[in-house]
Structure 1
């Protein structure tokens, strides 16, 4: 089942050469774990609520690969290039399994709500 690392980056960041180096080096850290950018600070449209931050989303084959990438020496080596200059929130979330049916989730919720 796929997994995703999602970052919400605050726009108050001051651009710095370290950020450019981080962006140059991060794709090489994905390769051993099957990761790839799905979204990388592209323009977005707010459909509900507010969202002023930038979005980065990286896809991996599974949670294990995503966690292994996050904990890898190669990635941890470049983390300070980002973290010294960009604030934000980063989460790891598993995707839904193949054939996921939201109506079954809704049915389970209805049963739960019945008490």
Structure 2
């Protein structure tokens, strides 16, 4: 099942460390078939408020997502981001196209 790495980053210091992180992250994603599907674009707010920049990276499965995050290549550049931003990052399983909103009721 498709997996996602999702981050909501705030207070990003767009200095040399973040520039280096951005220059190197794509190479860490490639071995795990990961690719950005949302990367900090400015949203159109239709309800409520949101603080921060949303980043979503798609992977083919959980093993790929976890493999990328735990890889030596990504762990090497991770401090470039964490030392220059605040936020939360998570790995999350997606749903398939047959999913319906009421499917969550069966899980509770």
Output aligned runs, 1:1-115, within 5 Å. 1-10=1-10, 12-103=11-102, 105=103, 108=106
Greater Rg by CA: 1
More helix by share: 1
Q: Deviations over 1:1-24 (max 9, x none)?
A: 1011110011x2322101001001
* TM-score when normalising by structure 2: 0.90
Spell out structure 1 runs of 4+ moving beyond 3 A: 106-109
Instruction: Name the count of aligned residue pairs.
Output: 108
Instruction: Give the Cα separation in 2 of the matches to 1:107 and 1:16.
Output: 45
Runs of 5+ consecutive residues of structure 2 not aligned to the other structure: none
* TM-score when normalising by structure 1: 0.85
Instruction: Give the Cα separation in 2 of the matches to 1:47 and 1:62.
Output: 31
Query: What SS does structure 1 have at the residue aligned with 2:12?
Result: coil
